[in-house]
C-alpha cells in the first residue's frame, strides 16, 4: 500500500513535543515495511506582522522536506488566522496541499488518504481524497470531536468528512459513541488505542529521578503533563495544593494559561510548592513521571490521553476526571482515582493514594497490551481493509 497521511500535529525542530504520539505511530508503521507512507505536515503561518513572532519565525525556517525516523515528511505552508480562522483552516490546507498531492499521485499513485485528526485534517483530507478519487480514513482523538464537532462553522465540516470516509478510527469507545451521537456512521468506526514505548516508559529509581529535577526526596510529589490550557484543568490541581500542605506539584508544559496559573498559586499561598517546568522534552518524561507519587490531570475532555498511559507505565497512579477514555482505562483502584474538576475532590483522591500507595507492578499492569508495534499493526490492517489489500 501507498498511503498519503495528513497531520497538522507533528514534531519538528521548532516544536519537538508537538504531536509526538503521531510521530511514534508513523515511525512504527515505517519500520514494518508493508506500507509506503508519505506524511504531509501542513504548517500554518499568519500574515505579517504576526508572522514575525518568534513562535512563527521558527516555523518559517523548517525545511520543506525531511526524513524523520524513517518517515518522509513534507511541510507545505498555509495561511493561518490565529484565534479567528479555525473554520477556514481546512480550505487553506487544501489550497496548499492538493497541488502537491496531485503531483505525487501522478508520479506514484496512492491507495488511500489518511487524516490523523478529525479537524482540521479530516475535512481537508476529504477534499483531497475526493479530488484524487481515493478512499479516506480519519482518526478521532478527543478534542477534535468534542470541540470542533460541536462548534458553529466547523461541526458541519466534521460531519461531512466523516460521512465521506470509508472508515474511521477512535482512540476510545466513548469517543466512538460521541462520534455516532454527532451523526457519523457507527458501523464505519473502529477502535484504535494509542501506543507506548515500553523501553522508555517504565518505573525508574524515584530518588534519582527527583534529584535530577531538584525535588525533595521526603515530600509527596504530584505531576501534571500537558499544555497549559483550560481543558487540561491545571487550575483545579493548584486549588487542591492548598489542601495538601506538604505536597509539591510539577507542571510540565507551556501555554496561554501560565500567567493565570502563577497568579492563582500566589493567591492561594502555594507558589513555592508549584514548579513550572516548561515544555519538558519527551525523552525526559519517564524520569519526571517516575519522580512523582501521583499523576493528576483533571481534563474536561480527552480521548485516551497518552499522558495517562505513560504515567501508569512508570508505575504512577492517576487522578483524573470520570470521562469516557479514563473510565475505560482506569478499571482497578490500584491504577488511580476519579475526581471532579474541584480542588477538594482532587485533594481527597490524592490523599487516598498517598495513604495506601499501590505497588508499582500493579500500576504498570494497566498498560499491558499497549505498544507502538501493536498500534502500527492495527493501523496498517485498517488501511488494508479500506483499500481491499488485506
Residues 291 and 179 grouped into a single domain: no
φ, ψ (nearest 5 deg) of residue 140 = -105, 135
What's the CA gap between 291 and 205, in Å, rounded?
8
What's the CA gap between 379 and 292, in Å, rounded?
33
Residues 261 and 178 grouped into a single domain: no
Confidence of residue 37 (pLDDT cuts 50, 70, 90): very high
Q: pLDDT averaged over the chain?
A: 95
For residues 267-287, average pLDDT: 96
Q: What pTM did the predictor assign?
A: 0.92
The answer to whether residue 201 is domain-embedded is: no
The helix or strand, by DSSP H or E, that contains position 194, with its residue range, turns out to be: none
Share of the chain above pLDDT 70, in %: 100
Tens-digit pLDDT profile for residues 75-120: 999 999 887 778 999 999 999 999 999 999 999 999 999 999 999 9
Residues 213 and 293 grouped into a single domain: yes
The answer to whether residue 36 is domain-embedded is: yes
What's the CA gap between 44 and 342, in Å, rounded?
36
Full domain range(s) for residue 383? 2-195+371-387
For residues 118-144, average pLDDT: 96
Report whether pLDDT(374) > 80. yes
The answer to whether residue 200 is domain-embedded is: no
φ, ψ (nearest 5 deg) of residue 251 = -105, 115
Q: How far apart are the first and last CA of the chain?
A: 10
User: In this structure, are residues 1 and 384 in contact, taking their beta carbons and an 8 Å threshold?
Assistant: yes
What's the CA gap between 134 and 109, in Å, rounded?
10
The answer to whether residue 346 is domain-embedded is: yes
The answer to whether residue 70 is domain-embedded is: yes
User: In this structure, are residues 358 and 375 in contact, taking their beta carbons and an 8 Å threshold?
Assistant: no
Report whether pLDDT(132) > 90. yes
What's the CA gap between 141 and 168, in Å, rounded?
11
Residue 232 Cα distances to 107, 207, 278, 300, angstroms: 44, 28, 15, 7
The helix or strand, by DSSP H or E, that contains position 365, with its residue range, turns out to be: none
Question: Can you say whether the dihedral through the CA atoms of 177, 224, 117, 45 is positive or negative?
Answer: positive
Residues 47 and 188 grouped into a single domain: yes
What's the CA gap between 64 and 90, in Å, rounded?
20
How many domains would you assign to the chain?
2
- By CB atoms closer than 10 A (0-12, 13-18, 19+), residue 170 is buried
pLDDT at 185: 97
Which of 77-86, 139-148, 231-240 shows the lowest per-residue confidence on average (mean pLDDT)? 77-86
Residues 241 and 295 grouped into a single domain: yes
What's the CA gap between 299 and 132, in Å, rounded?
39
Residues 174 and 237 grouped into a single domain: no
Report whether pLDDT(199) > 90. yes
Residues linked to residue 39 through DSSP beta bridges, in sequence order: 5, 73
The answer to whether residue 129 is domain-embedded is: yes
What's the CA gap between 378 and 287, in Å, rounded?
29
pLDDT at 107: 97
The answer to whether residue 46 is domain-embedded is: yes
pLDDT at 249: 98
pLDDT at 53: 84
Residues 214 and 191 grouped into a single domain: no
Residues 277 and 167 grouped into a single domain: no
pLDDT at 303: 85
Confidence of residue 177 (pLDDT cuts 50, 70, 90): very high
Tens-digit pLDDT profile for residues 296-340: 999 998 889 999 999 999 999 999 999 989 999 999 999 999 999
Residue where the block lists cell 481491499: 388
Question: Can you say whether the dihedral through the CA atoms of 323, 327, 330, 334 is positive or negative?
Answer: positive
Residues 142 and 223 grouped into a single domain: no
Helix (H, G, I), strand (E, B) or coil at 271: helix
Residues 113 and 72 grouped into a single domain: yes
Query: In terms of Cα–Cα distance, which of 250, 265, 262, 257 is closest to 311?
Result: 250
pLDDT at 49: 84
Residue where the block lists cell 480562522: 85
For residues 205-215, average pLDDT: 95
Q: What is the largest CA-CA distance in the chain?
A: 64
pLDDT at 83: 77
Q: What does 66-94 look like in DSSP terms, one character per residue?
A: EEETTEEEE--EEE--TTT-GGGHHHHHH
pLDDT at 333: 95
The answer to whether residue 375 is domain-embedded is: yes
Helix (H, G, I), strand (E, B) or coil at 277: strand
For residues 254-267, average pLDDT: 97
Which residues contact residue 208 at a Cβ distance below 8 angstroms, ignoring those fewer than 6 apart?
Answer: none
pLDDT at 259: 97
What's the CA gap between 380 and 283, in Å, rounded?
26
φ, ψ (nearest 5 deg) of residue 129 = -60, -40
What's the CA gap between 121 and 144, in Å, rounded?
10
For residues 53-74, average pLDDT: 93
* Residue 260: other Cβ atoms inside 10 A: 14
Residues 39 and 104 grouped into a single domain: yes
* Residue 199: other Cβ atoms inside 10 A: 8
Residues 115 and 163 grouped into a single domain: yes
The helix or strand, by DSSP H or E, that contains position 223, with its residue range, turns out to be: strand 221-225
Q: At 27, which CATH number?
A: 3.40.50.2000
Helix (H, G, I), strand (E, B) or coil at 364: helix
Tens-digit pLDDT profile for residues 341-354: 999 999 999 999 99
pLDDT at 82: 84
Amino acid at each position: 500500500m501507498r498511503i498519503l497521511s495528513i497531520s497538522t500535529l507533528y514534531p519538528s525542530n521548532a516544536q519537538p513535543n508537538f504531536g509526538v504520539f503521531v510521530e511514534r505511530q508513523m515511525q512504527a508503521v515505517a519500520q514494518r515495511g508493508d506500507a509506503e507512507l508519505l506524511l504531509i505536515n501542513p504548517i500554518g503561518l499568519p500574515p505579517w506582522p504576526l508572522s514575525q513572532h518568534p513562535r512563527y519565525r521558527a516555523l518559517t525556517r523548517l525545511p520543506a522536506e525531511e526524513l524523520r525516523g524513517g518517515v518522509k515528511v513534507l511541510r507545505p505552508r498555509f495561511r493561518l488566522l490565529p484565534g479567528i480562522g479555525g473554520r477556514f483552516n481546512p480550505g487553506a490546507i487544501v489550497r496548499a496541499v492538493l497541488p502537491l498531492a496531485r503531483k505525487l499521485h501522478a508520479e506514484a499513485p496512492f491507495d488511500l488518504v489518511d487524516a490523523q485528526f478529525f479537524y482540521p485534517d479530516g475535512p481537508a483530507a476529504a477534499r483531497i481524497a475526493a479530488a484524487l478519487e481515493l478512499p479516506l480514513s480519519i482518526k478521532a482523538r478527543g478534542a477534535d470531536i468534542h470541540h470542533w464537532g460541536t462548534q458553529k462553522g466547523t461541526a458541519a465540516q466534521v460531519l461531512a468528512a466523516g460521512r465521506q470516509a470509508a472508515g474511521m478510527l477512535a482512540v476510545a469507545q466513548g469517543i466512538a459513541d460521541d462520534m455516532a451521537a454527532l451523526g457519523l456512521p457507527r458501523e464505519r468506526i473502529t477502535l484504535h488505542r494509542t501506543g507506548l514505548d515500553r523501553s522508555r516508559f517504565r518505573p525508574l529509581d524515584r530518588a534519582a529521578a527527583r534529584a535530577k529535577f531538584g525535588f525533595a526526596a521526603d515530600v509527596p510529589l504530584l505531576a501534571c503533563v500537558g499544555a497549559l490550557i483550560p481543558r487540561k484543568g491545571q487550575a483545579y490541581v493548584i486549588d487542591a495544593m492548598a489542601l495538601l500542605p506538604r505536597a509539591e506539584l510539577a507542571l510540565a508544559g507551556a501555554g496561554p494559561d501560565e500567567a493565570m496559573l502563577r497568579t492563582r498559586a500566589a493567591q492561594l499561598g502555594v507558589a513555592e510548592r508549584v514548579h513550572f517546568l516548561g515544555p519538558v522534552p519527551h525523552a525526559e518524561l519517564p524520569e519526571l513521571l517516575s519522580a512523582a507519587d501521583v499523576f493528576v490531570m483533571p481534563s474536561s475532555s480527552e480521548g485516551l490521553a497518552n499522558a495517562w498511559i505513560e504515567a501508569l507505565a512508570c508505575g504512577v497512579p492517576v487522578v483524573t476526571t470520570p470521562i469516557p477514555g479514563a473510565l475505560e482505562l482506569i478499571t482497578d483502584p490500584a491504577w488511580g482515582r476519579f475526581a471532579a474538576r474541584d480542588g477538594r475532590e482532587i485533594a481527597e483522591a490524592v490523599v487516598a493514594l498517598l495513604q495506601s500507595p499501590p505497588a508499582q507492578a500493579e500500576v504498570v499492569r494497566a498498560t499491558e497490551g499497549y505498544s507502538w508495534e501493536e498500534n502500527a499493526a492495527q493501523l496498517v490492517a485498517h488501511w488494508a481493509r479500506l483499500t481491499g489489500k488485506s
